[in-house]
Chains A and B, each alone.
Chain A
Amino acid sequence: MKFADLFGRQRSASTAHHRLQVLLMHERCGGTNPDLIPMMREDILAAIGKHISVDPEKVRLKIDRGETVSRLEIDIEIPTPMRQSLDRRASAAYLR
């Protein structure tokens, strides 16, 4: 534990250095347009909404800025059709 602790500490300056390099590279190019993610979110919602009904709250966009590439993660939660029809049947039964 002591050795690992020592080793971990030793590396923290180089971790700081690396994190700063990656961050500032992005920030110096003006960074990412702050409206980009919300705008894309709207577009994606509209595109998918044509085919499936999606709860806007269930669309999550994440960005991870990396050294050579950045990763954009789109996570859309869609209701399972099976479940939906079961729900519908249940509510129909209830109404009856």
Chain B
Amino acid sequence: MAQVVVVTSGKGGVGKTTSTAALGAALAREGERVAVIDFDVGLRNLDLVMGAERRVVFDLIHVVQGSARLSQALIRDKRIDTLFLLAASQTRDKESLSDDGVERVIRDLRPSFDWIICDSPAGIERGAALAMRHADLAVVVANPEVSSVRDSDRIIGLLDSTTDKAKRGEAIEKHLLLTRYDPARAGRGEMLGVDDVLEILCIPLLGIIPESKDVLHASNMGSPVTLNNPGSGAARAYEDAARRLRGQQVPVVVPSEKSTLFGKLLGRRAA
């Protein structure tokens, strides 16, 4: 029976889609059966980041509206055979996502997968509300930057009040994934530090993803960073985060300025 995870943030552009793809691929690479679902109807991008944009025939809306079966709409990843994508519709608007339809999709997926990862659209409108509604666990993606942290706080409030789990009186697990973190700038006091963000948001830390050229490179290539460049700092940080999701105890390593400098001295790309 799958765990349903929502990857959410409120603010756009902080790395929800990148993180969905990277975590999904990292989990699948460990043998877990993973379905990633794009809830960003009208502005889908998970297909592009996963390199499946030319293989989308049926999407979430087709399944929700009953014009395609789940098995027809699920796109199996070409690199890992336990990883599947359910794309969002590019043309229709979010209003075509019905509450009942989404509930049915999640219910039908649960028995066949270990993880269902819902990539939320930005904002707090219908698409975002539906992406989080059925979640057992939330990954709150934030950048160490004031507007992102404020929006994350708002999202945490919504997770605690509007999800099905919260309405049943159960606590919804929330984890912080701090992305685009620049340890050198944080060290110089130019950027909010990990502790600053944790102190403000008061949720456990799932991982720290360093600012990295490899992330853009991976999305250029249409491959999750955990598959495209598994040895990179960002990929390793995502892999560790995926292990923590599975319940493994992996100590969080704050990428340090020292290693960056060391990397530079060795002529390598830092983090």
Which A positions have Cβ atoms within 8 angstroms of B?
Answer: 9-14, 16-17, 19-21, 23-24, 27-28
Contact at A9–B200, with CB atoms within 8 Å? no
What is the minimal beta-carbon distance from A77 to any residue of chain B, in angstroms?
34
CB-nearest residue of chain B to A19: B146
Q: How far is the CA of A13 from the CA of B191 in the complex (A)?
A: 5
- Cβ-defined contact, A13 with B192, below 8 A: yes
A20 and B146: CB pair below 8 A? Answer: yes
Of B55-63, B182-190, B220-228, the one touching chain A: B182-190
Would you call B150 an interface residue if the criterion is a C-beta within 8 Å of the partner chain's C-beta atoms? yes
Among all A-B residue pairs, the 5 with the closest Cβ atoms:
A10-B189, A17-B196, A13-B189, A16-B146, A24-B153
* Chain B residues near A20 (CB-CB < 8 A): 146, 149-150, 200
Q: How far is the CB of A28 from chain B (nearest CB, A)?
A: 7
**A23 CB contact (under 8 Å) in B145, B150, B192:** B150
By a CB distance below 8 angstroms, the chain B residues around A9 are 188-190
Residues of B participating in the A interface, judged by any CB pair closer than 8 Å = 145-146, 149-150, 153-154, 157, 186, 188-193, 196, 199-200
> A12 to B145, alpha carbons, bound, how many Å?
11
Give the contacting residue for B189; candidates A14, A27, A28; CB below 8 A.
A14
Main secondary structure of the interface of A (DSSP, over half): helix
Which residues of chain B come closer than 8 Å to A24, judged between CB atoms? 150, 153, 200
B interface majority secondary structure: helix
- Residues of A contacting B186 in the complex (Cβ-Cβ under 8 angstroms): 13
- The distance in angstroms between the C-alpha atoms of A17 and B193, with both chains bound, is 9
Not counting A10-B188, A13-B189, A13-B192, a sample of 12 additional A-B residue pairs whose C-beta atoms are within 8 angstroms of each other reads: A11-B189, A13-B190, A16-B146, A16-B192, A17-B200, A19-B146, A20-B200, A24-B150, A24-B153, A24-B200, A28-B153, A28-B157
Nearest chain A residue, comparing its CB with the CB of B200: A20
| A6 nearest CB neighbor, chain B only | B188
In the assembled complex, the CB of A30 is this many whole angstroms from the nearest CB of chain B, namely 10
Note all chain B residues with C-beta closer than 8 A to A27: 150, 153-154
Q: Known contacts A20-B149, A24-B153, A28-B157; decide if A10 and B190 are in contact (CB<8 Å).
A: yes
Task: Tell me which residues across on chain B come within 8 A of A28, comparing CB atoms.
Answer: 153, 157
Chain A residues with Cβ below 8 Å from B200 are 17, 20-21, 24
Q: Which of A9, A14, A20, A27 has the most CB of B within 10 A?
A: A20
A selection of 26 A-B contacts at a CB cut-off of 8 Å is A9-B188, A9-B189, A10-B188, A10-B189, A10-B190, A11-B189, A12-B189, A12-B190, A13-B186, A13-B189, A13-B190, A13-B191, A14-B189, A16-B192, A17-B192, A17-B199, A17-B200, A20-B150, A20-B200, A21-B200, A23-B150, A24-B150, A24-B153, A27-B153, A27-B154, A28-B153
